[in-house]
């Protein structure tokens, strides 16, 4: 991964850290390192049960590498955008939940990367924004599509049209992030949440993520059919027998994802 992204694993929880000093700016090499990291986690044994995505130092990801934009033309810009959108798709379809632990600034591509995650926790001093219009462009990694899916459409348009930065508190108020915690508590809090998720039946957690993410793109009737199918398929698993038995026997369940 070229040192730009590191992965650490602990009891089924994998921590992915972006490390591209000084501000963890997005560059194609960072994108390839992120894809390699998630590929490695997907192949891990035992399988990952939760992922925490964060940035090294004082930044989550302070946007794209502006110098790289100087090298792009229409054709290469389309390739660039499509490649970074693949990262969003990988996180969206990843079999276990991905939690963004947002330290410092998450601007431009950093905000888009955060929005692709299932749960977003921010440090109280974090900043958010999509400032692309101030550079003469628009978001290319899903910002125009994911932002209005998370916040009111009018609010999304205001942020995209002005390029304004907002605080973590405002981000929580509009629904862009789920929780705001003290900076020193950010990673411990995200890890505690990931461990709570990891204790549950992994096949069920994965099915819940799939039902929500795919269901939001469907009409209600079709989404309910998807939920029914996923619900029924889980009864093939040993984890259902274990979960029910543990409940009846008043003991903690020991799930194995089988």
Given the residues 78, 89, 112, 249, the one annotated as active site: 112
Q: Which of 103, 104, 116, 96 minimizes the C-alpha distance to 31?
A: 116
Q: Give φ, ψ of 91 to 5 degrees.
A: -65, -40
Contact 97, 197 (CB under 8 A): yes
Q: Which pairing describes strands 165-167 and 119-123: parallel, antiparallel, or unpaired?
A: unpaired
Question: 74 catalytic, yes or no?
Answer: no
Q: What is the sign of the dihedral through the CA atoms of 182, 188, 190 and 192? A: negative
Q: What is the sign of the dihedral through the CA atoms of 152, 155, 160 and 166? A: negative
Nearest-angstrom CA–CA distance, 118 and 51: 10
Contact 155, 98 (CB under 8 A): no
Find residue 5's DSSP bridge partners.
18
Given the residues 132, 170, 217, 242, the one annotated as active site: 132
- The CB-based long-range contact list for 228-236 (8 Å cut-off, 24+ gap) reads 231/207, 233/207, 234/203, 234/204, 234/207
The strand ranges marked E within 130-252 are 165-167, 179-181
Question: 89 catalytic, yes or no?
Answer: no
Catalytic residues: 112, 132
């Amino acid at each position: 991964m070229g040192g730009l992204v590191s992965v650490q694993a602990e009891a089924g929880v994998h921590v992915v850290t972006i490390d591209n000093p000084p501000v963890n700016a997005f560059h194609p090499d960072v994108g390839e390192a992120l894809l390699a990291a998630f590929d490695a986690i997907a192949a891990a044994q035992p399988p990952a049960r939760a992922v925490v995505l964060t940035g090294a130092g004082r930044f989550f990801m302070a946007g794209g590498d502006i110098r790289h934009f100087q090298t792009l033309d229409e054709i290469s810009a389309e390739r660039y955008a499509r490649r970074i959108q693949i990262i969003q798709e990988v996180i969206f379809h990843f079999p276990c939940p991905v939690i963004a632990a947002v330290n410092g600034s998450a601007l431009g591509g950093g905000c888009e990367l955060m929005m692709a995650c299932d749960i977003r926790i921010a440090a109280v001093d974090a900043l958010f924004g999509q400032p692309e219009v101030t550079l003469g462009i628009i978001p290319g990694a899903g910002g125009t599509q994911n932002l209005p899916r998370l916040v009111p459409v009018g609010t999304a348009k205001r942020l995209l049209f002005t390029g304004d930065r907002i605080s973590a508190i405002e981000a929580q108020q509009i629904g862009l992030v789920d929780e705001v915690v003290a900076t020193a508590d950010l990673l411990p809090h995200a890890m505690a949440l990931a461990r709570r998720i990891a204790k549950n039946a992994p096949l069920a957690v994965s099915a819940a993520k799939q039902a929500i993410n795919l269901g939001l793109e469907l009409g209600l009737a079709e989404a309910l059919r998807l939920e029914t199918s996923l619900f029924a398929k889980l009864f093939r698993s040993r984890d259902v027998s274990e979960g029910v038995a543990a409940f009846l026997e008043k003991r903690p369940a020991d799930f194995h994802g089988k």
